[in-house]
Amino acid sequence: MSARSFELLLETAFAPEKPHVFEVPAAVVYQKLEQALKAARPQQDKPSEELGFRFEMLRLGVAIAFIKAYSRLADNEGAKEVLQLLQEAVRAKSTREIDKIIQKKIALFDTLYHEIFVNEQREHILALFEQTLDATSKGELDELMLEGLELLQEVDFDAPQADEDDDEPLDEDFLKSIQ
């Protein structure tokens, strides 16, 4: 996987708006993780704080891409709140600070599942988001980015959603017949 794939994932998830997720370009976030991985190899006994922080930044970026795509499809208030929380966590300066930010509003993640309607793409995006939060290696994140890029290329974000098509009033005769 590459820094460019990370950029593309974010660009696709946010399109047509520009993703302003990090203070630096997304490619730099990816490259800093690669640099931290190289620097940590000679000291393979214990991962450094820098390596952990760089991994968390990449994981947050991938998670933000998936939750942004999900919120565009689902128009789910919970997803918007989770997106804001993740964007707040991206501004943290350490893994400890990231954990503190996420933990104080961890209940927001539960709200993502309350308004799921039967929609395979929404479910797939949400599954990728979950897998991102559980990822423990750069390789796992790379695979998730690739799968996410493939999925997001197929999603028609401008198509009317199933829950938006239900604007017709219910037939009163039908309602009387089921009572």
- Structure pTM? 0.78
Supply the pLDDT for residue 164.
Answer: 46
Determine contact, residues 31/42, Cβ cutoff 8 Å.
no
For residue 126, the Cα-to-chain-centroid distance in whole angstroms is 8
Phi and psi torsions of 166, nearest 5°: -90, 40
Full residue range of the structural domain in which residue 101 is found: 3-178
Q: Tell me 156's DSSP state.
A: -
For residue 41, the Cα-to-chain-centroid distance in whole angstroms is 29
Q: How far apart are CA 128 and CA 106, in angstroms?
A: 18
Supply the pLDDT for residue 78.
Answer: 83
pLDDT for 129 beyond 80: yes
Q: Decide which of 163 and 104 is more confident.
A: 104
Average pLDDT rounded to a whole number, residues 119-141 = 86
Q: Residues 105-128: pLDDT tens digits? A: 988 887 776 655 557 788 888 889
Domain count, the chain: 1
Residue 27, token pair as written in the block: 């490619």
AA letter at 41 = R
Supply the pLDDT for residue 118.
Answer: 57
Q: Decide which of 89 and 50 is more confident.
A: 89
Supply the pLDDT for residue 100.
Answer: 94
For residue 66, the Cα-to-chain-centroid distance in whole angstroms is 3
With cut-offs at 50, 70 and 90, classify the pLDDT of residue 166: very low
Residue 106, token pair as written in the block: 């961890």
Q: Residues 12-42: pLDDT tens digits? A: 999 888 888 998 999 999 999 999 888 877 6
Degrees (nearest 5) of the Cα angle 139, 140, 146? 90
Choose among 33, 41, 35: nearest CA to 135. Answer: 33
